[in-house]
């Protein structure tokens, strides 16, 4: 399972995840460098998320007919160019543009990479393969972001982007060396692929993916002030708590992939049910330091236990347009990021306290669960409900996998 091609994809996802999130820890340095306020520097986070959401369909169209390995290498080229622009940015506006360019590679890479990863393993292991690729993203939060932040604080924020650029070169070389080249792109018409995406069976898992992300970022965007003002942690203790959260993300991601290969929809339903319960619990445990810290890794595990199952569900539902659907689902996740941050901010503006945000997150997760429960066996694609049948996955001419965040 832990093959060199999947490791190469995981290495690239580590670099992409690091460049996405490390800016959060460097906002004061970036703001001082360009003479802007920290809130304005914070728009670099929103700009990246919106760049993923807007860029995903555009890049999906542009790379649809390319062989999958070529498409991945083109996207890594965009990633490298964007990070080079970040490292050399002479102004805040140029840095924003470079961040958006980098974001354009994000959604398509994870979307295409998920389809490729699932096509490299037997059918009964495809969700695990997707989860292993996304492990790079979770490890970016555990390792890449803390070390990148520390490097930026010591050597200047530009040094962090130079380091990410180096990681990207290594990952691109690994993809060139190890990912097989015989995986074709789409050979059908793009119009036909987009028509297939209008089906509710395809739109439903994308909507659920969006709501899962909204639920997370409604709370997580404001986790630092929640932990300091409500739970009573010091800023240094918040760093340790977030490390535990990141460990939970990694373990949950791996567990979700393994469980989804046994019962895909049961894993989605069970994870959402537990997520609602834990967020309700967090509304109470957040009032005290130790219970709050103990709840964080459980929350993180449940959130990322959903990533690979939702990605596989989308691709199974869109069997005639898996690459496009998988890419658009990444845009859905990032649309949820931006929406959740805005929703949480709006709730705080209207007078809701930080300690009440978990209730809002639980409500959104409950809405997602309700939508999942409306799915029927015939609506979600072959194998989406019930146990996954073991056996090798052929590599179809048009999809490069028999199904695949």
pLDDT digits (tens, 9 = 90+) for 222-277: 887 888 889 998 877 887 888 888 899 989 988 988 898 888 899 999 999 999 99
pLDDT at site 399: 31
Q: Which has the minimum average pLDDT: 29-33, 86-90, 296-300?
A: 29-33
Torsions phi, psi of 206, nearest 5?
-65, -40
| 8 A C-beta contact, residue 133 and residue 12 | no
Distance CA 60, CA 188 (A): 14
Q: Which has the minimum average pLDDT: 70-74, 273-277, 373-377?
A: 373-377
Torsions phi, psi of 30, nearest 5?
-65, -45
Query: HEC string of 75-100?
Result: HHHHHHHHHHHHHHCCCHHHHHHHHH
* 145 band by pLDDT with thresholds 50, 70 and 90: confident
> Nearest Cα to 369, choosing from 316, 302, 324?
302
- Whose structure tokens read 């990952």? 171
Residue 261: strand, helix, or coil: coil
> Is pLDDT at 284 greater than 90 in this prediction?
yes
- Whose structure tokens read 């209008």? 198
Q: List all residues 6 or more positions away from 182 whose beta carbon is below 8 Å from its beta carbon.
A: 67, 395
Q: Which has the minimum average pLDDT: 86-90, 120-124, 240-244, 338-342?
A: 120-124
CA 62, 118, 73 angle in degrees (round to 5)?
40
| Dihedral sign from CA coordinates of 9, 12, 13, 14 | positive
Torsions phi, psi of 320, nearest 5?
-95, 0
- Whose structure tokens read 């537990």? 274
CA 181, 205, 54 angle in degrees (round to 5)?
65
Share of the chain above pLDDT 70, in %: 87
Which architecture, in CATH terms, is 4-379?
Up-down Bundle (1.20)
> Is pLDDT at 90 greater than 90 in this prediction?
yes
pLDDT at site 193: 63
The more confident residue out of 384 and 161 is 161
Whole-number Cα distances in Å, 255 to 128, 192, 260, 308, 383: 8, 35, 8, 10, 19
pLDDT at site 185: 61
pLDDT at site 390: 29
Residue 237, both tokens = 């203790």
Per-residue pLDDT tens for 189-214? 555 666 667 788 888 999 999 999 99
Structural domain boundaries in the chain: 4-379
CA 93, 328, 23 angle in degrees (round to 5)?
35
- Mean pLDDT of all residues belonging to the chain: 82
């Amino acid at each position: 399972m832990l093959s060199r091609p999947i490791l190469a994809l995981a290495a690239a996802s580590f670099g992409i995840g690091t460049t996405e999130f490390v800016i959060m820890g460097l906002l004061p340095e970036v703001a001082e460098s360009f003479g802007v306020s920290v809130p304005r520097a914070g728009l670099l986070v929103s700009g990246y998320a919106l760049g993923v959401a807007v860029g995903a369909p555009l890049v999906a169209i542009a790379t649809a007919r390319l062989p999958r390995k070529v498409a991945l290498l083109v996207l890594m080229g965009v990633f490298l160019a964007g990070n080079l622009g970040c490292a050399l940015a002479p102004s805040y506006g140029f840095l924003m543009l470079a961040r958006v360019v980098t974001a354009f590679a994000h959604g398509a890479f994870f979307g295409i990479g998920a389809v490729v990863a699932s096509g490299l393993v037997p059918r009964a292991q495809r969700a695990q393969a997707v989860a292993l690729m996304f492990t790079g993203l979770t490890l970016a939060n555990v390792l890449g972001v803390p070390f990148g932040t520390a490097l930026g604080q010591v050597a200047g924020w530009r040094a962090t982007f130079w380091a990410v650029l180096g990681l990207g070169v290594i990952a691109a070389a690994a993809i060139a060396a190890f990912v097989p080249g015989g995986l074709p792109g789409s050979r059908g018409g793009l119009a036909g692929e987009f028509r297939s995406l209008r089906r509710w069976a395809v739109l439903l898992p994308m909507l659920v993916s969006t709501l899962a992300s909204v639920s997370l970022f409604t709370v997580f965007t404001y986790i630092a002030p929640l932990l300091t003002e409500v739970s009573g942690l010091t800023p240094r203790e918040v760093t340790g708590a977030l490390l535990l959260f990141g460990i939970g993300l990694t373990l949950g991601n791996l567990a979700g992939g393994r469980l989804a290969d046994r019962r895909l929809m049961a894993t989605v339903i069970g994870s959402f049910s537990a997520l609602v319960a834990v967020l309700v619990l967090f509304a109470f445990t957040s009032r005290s330091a130790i219970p709050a810290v103990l709840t964080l890794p459980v929350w993180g595990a449940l959130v990322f236990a959903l990533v690979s199952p939702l990605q596989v569900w989308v691709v199974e539902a869109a069997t005639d347009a898996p690459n496009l659907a998988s890419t658009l689902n990444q845009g859905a996740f990032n649309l949820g990021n931006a929406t959740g941050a805005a929703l949480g901010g709006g709730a705080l503006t209207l007078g809701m306290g930080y300690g009440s945000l978990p209730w809002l997150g639980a409500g959104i997760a409950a809405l997602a669960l309700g939508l999942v429960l409306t799915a029927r066996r015939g609506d979600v694609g072959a194998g989406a409900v019930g146990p996954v049948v073991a056996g090798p996955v052929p590599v179809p001419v048009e999809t490069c996998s028999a199904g695949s965040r």
